[in-house]
């Protein structure tokens, strides 16, 4: 992995949303500060699991909370609508922690609004696939121009980057 590209969990997540969003966000074009959806997610994150220690930072990783006693990394999300992206984000955190010598842990996606918990484990197959995702992200970030606008997805209308793409 190319260390200068500073891959983050958010970039992994955005890779599964939209490559254009990924590219723009990486270049510090951030539209989320005006997004009601993002604000709601932050409120849910702040008020869910209040007794747990919040946001552990390890280099470029921002983990929602980490239960060292049970070896469980937790990621709190508002909705399970982007579950695949969320799972890959947690897999990335597990992968990076493993590279730092912290292994034998598992991840959990916590969806407090729907009272759902999803277990996430880094298998050798998922690790190989994740390495390919990371390489593809680095290729996208290295492009001088943003990726083309994707065919209008129904989800684009609720994206905080909508105006940059369609207006």
- From the number of C-beta atoms within 10 Å of its C-beta (0-12, 13-18, 19+), residue 59 rates as exposed
Domain 3-166 sits in CATH 3.90.320.10: yes
pLDDT, average across residues 143-162 = 83
Residue partners of 15: CB distance under 8 A and separation at least 6: 22, 85, 88, 133, 136, 137, 140
Average pLDDT, the chain: 84
How high is the pLDDT of residue 3?
43
70/30 Cα distance (integer angstroms) = 35
In the predicted structure, residue 161 carries a pLDDT above the cut 90: no
- Each residue's pLDDT tens digit, 110-123: 998 899 999 999 99
């593809």: which residue's tokens? 136
pLDDT, average across residues 53-74 = 82
> Looking at the DSSP assignment, which residues form a beta bridge with residue 58?
61
pLDDT, average across residues 52-66 = 76
- Each residue's pLDDT tens digit, 4-56: 458 999 999 999 989 999 999 999 888 755 545 545 445 554 555 555 556 67
153 or 109: whose pLDDT is higher? 109
163 or 84: whose pLDDT is higher? 84
> Looking at the DSSP assignment, which residues form a beta bridge with residue 107?
73, 120
137 or 62: whose pLDDT is higher? 137
Per residue, the 3-state secondary structure of the chain, as one string, reads CCHHHCCCHHHHHHHHHCHHHHHHHHCCCCCHHHCHHHHHHHHHHHHCCCCCCCCEEECCEEECEEECCCCEEEEECCCCCCHHHHHHHHHHHHHHHHHCCCCCCEEEEEECCCCEEEEECCCHHHHHHHHHHHHHHHHHHHCCCCCCCCCCCHHHHHCCCHHHHHC
Contact 132, 15 (CB under 8 A): no
Look up the pTM and report it: 0.83
- Each residue's pLDDT tens digit, 89-106: 999 999 999 999 988 899
């Amino acid at each position: 992995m190319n260390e200068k590209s500073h891959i983050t969990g958010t970039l992994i997540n955005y890779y599964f949303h939209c490559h254009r969003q990924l590219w723009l966000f990486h270049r510090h074009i951030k539209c989320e500060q005006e997004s009601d959806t993002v604000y709601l997610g932050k409120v849910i994150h702040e008020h869910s699991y209040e007794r747990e220690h919040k946001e552990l930072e390890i280099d470029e990783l921002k983990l929602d909370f980490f239960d060292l006693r049970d070896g469980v990394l937790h990621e709190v999300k508002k909705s399970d609508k982007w579950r695949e992206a969320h799972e890959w984000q947690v897999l990335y955190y597990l992968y990076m922690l493993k590279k730092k010598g912290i292994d034998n842990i598992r991840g959990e996606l916590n969806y407090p609004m729907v009272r759902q918990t999803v277990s996430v484990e880094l298998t050798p197959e998922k690790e190989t696939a994740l390495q390919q995702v990371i390489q593809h992200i680095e290729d996208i970030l290295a492009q001088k121009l943003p990726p083309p606008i994707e065919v209008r997805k129904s989800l684009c209308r609720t994206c905080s980057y909508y105006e940059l793409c369609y207006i």
